[in-house]
């Protein structure tokens, strides 16, 4: 059972002008796809070959001898989650259950955006910023490189990829500008509400 690259949930051009078709062509078509190809090569003809993506992550998270499997598996999972965390109709103030939880957990939407941006900018080097739900309360987490909250048993609601490959073609070194556009125009609150229900 090979791990497959899920289709993008929208057209390559759907996130323009905030994320270009060229970025998606490389980020999804090359980077994400390469993690899938590498992962399948690493698990081929091993005991891990029959495992689901989530199981691969959990089984290798604390095993230094399997770090390549972990890194590629986590990056496959993180990227699929990231594509779903973005929407051409996203961004701005949320609706639904997530809206009141944001107010309860962070005081206000404005304060949430400040803290989420701080996490995304504060991640030194490559990594991810996450909105997490734990015991009915929301929190913000950053992880480095391929690391993923699901390895710690945490359920994320949304994420932002802050690897340079996510923004360099469109924003060069200006990570802050990319993060502002994602928060303001692309965060998929419908996806966050759906994750909250599960």
Nearer to Fe ion, 26 or 109 (CB): 26
Binding-site size, Fe ion (CB under 5 A): 3
Closest CA to 68 of 30, 40, 28, 27: 40
C-alpha span between 74 and 68 (Å, rounded): 10
- Cβ neighbour number for residue 89 with a 10 Å cutoff: 12
Nearer to Fe ion, 150 or 166 (CB): 166
SS (H, E, C) 133-144: EECCEEEEEEEE
**What phi-psi label fits residue 127: left (phi over 0), alpha (psi between -120 and 50 degrees) or beta?**
left
Report residue 57 as tokens. Answer: 């992550």
Q: How far is the CB of 79 from Fe ion (least distance, A)?
A: 6
Q: How far is the CB of 128 from Fe ion (least distance, A)?
A: 9
161 counts as binding Fe ion under rule CB under 5 A:
yes
Site map for Fe ion, 116-155, x if CB under 5 A? ----------------------------------------
163 counts as binding Fe ion under rule CB under 5 A:
yes
Q: How far is the CB of 16 from Fe ion (least distance, A)?
A: 18
Distances in whole angstroms, Cα of residue 62 to Cα of each of 29, 33, 59, 68, 71: 29, 25, 8, 12, 12
Nearer to Fe ion, 106 or 171 (CB): 171
Site map for Fe ion, 166-195, x if CB under 5 A? x-----------------------------
Binding region for Fe ion (CB under 5 A): 161, 163, 166
């Amino acid at each position: 059972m090979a791990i497959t690259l899920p289709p993008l949930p929208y057209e390559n051009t759907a996130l323009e002008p905030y994320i270009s078709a060229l970025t998606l062509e490389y980020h999804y078509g090359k980077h994400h796809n390469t993690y899938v190809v590498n992962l399948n090569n690493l698990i081929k003809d091993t005991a891990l070959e029959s495992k689901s993506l989530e199981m691969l992550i959990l089984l290798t998270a604390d095993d230094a001898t399997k770090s390549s499997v972990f890194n590629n598996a986590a990056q496959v999972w993180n990227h699929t989650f990231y594509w779903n965390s973005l929407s051409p109709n996203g961004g701005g103030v949320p609706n639904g259950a997530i809206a009141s939880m944001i107010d309860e957990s962070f005081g206000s939407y404005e304060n949430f955006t400040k803290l989420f941006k701080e996490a995304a900018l504060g991640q030194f080097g490559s990594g991810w910023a996450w909105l997490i739900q734990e015991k009915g309360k929301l929190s913000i987490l950053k992880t480095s490189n391929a690391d993923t909250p699901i390895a710690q048993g945490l359920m994320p609601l949304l994420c932002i990829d802050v690897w340079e490959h996510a923004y360099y073609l469109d924003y060069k070194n200006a990570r802050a500008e990319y993060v502002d556009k994602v928060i303001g125009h692309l965060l998929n609150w419908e996806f966050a509400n759906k994750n909250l229900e599960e």
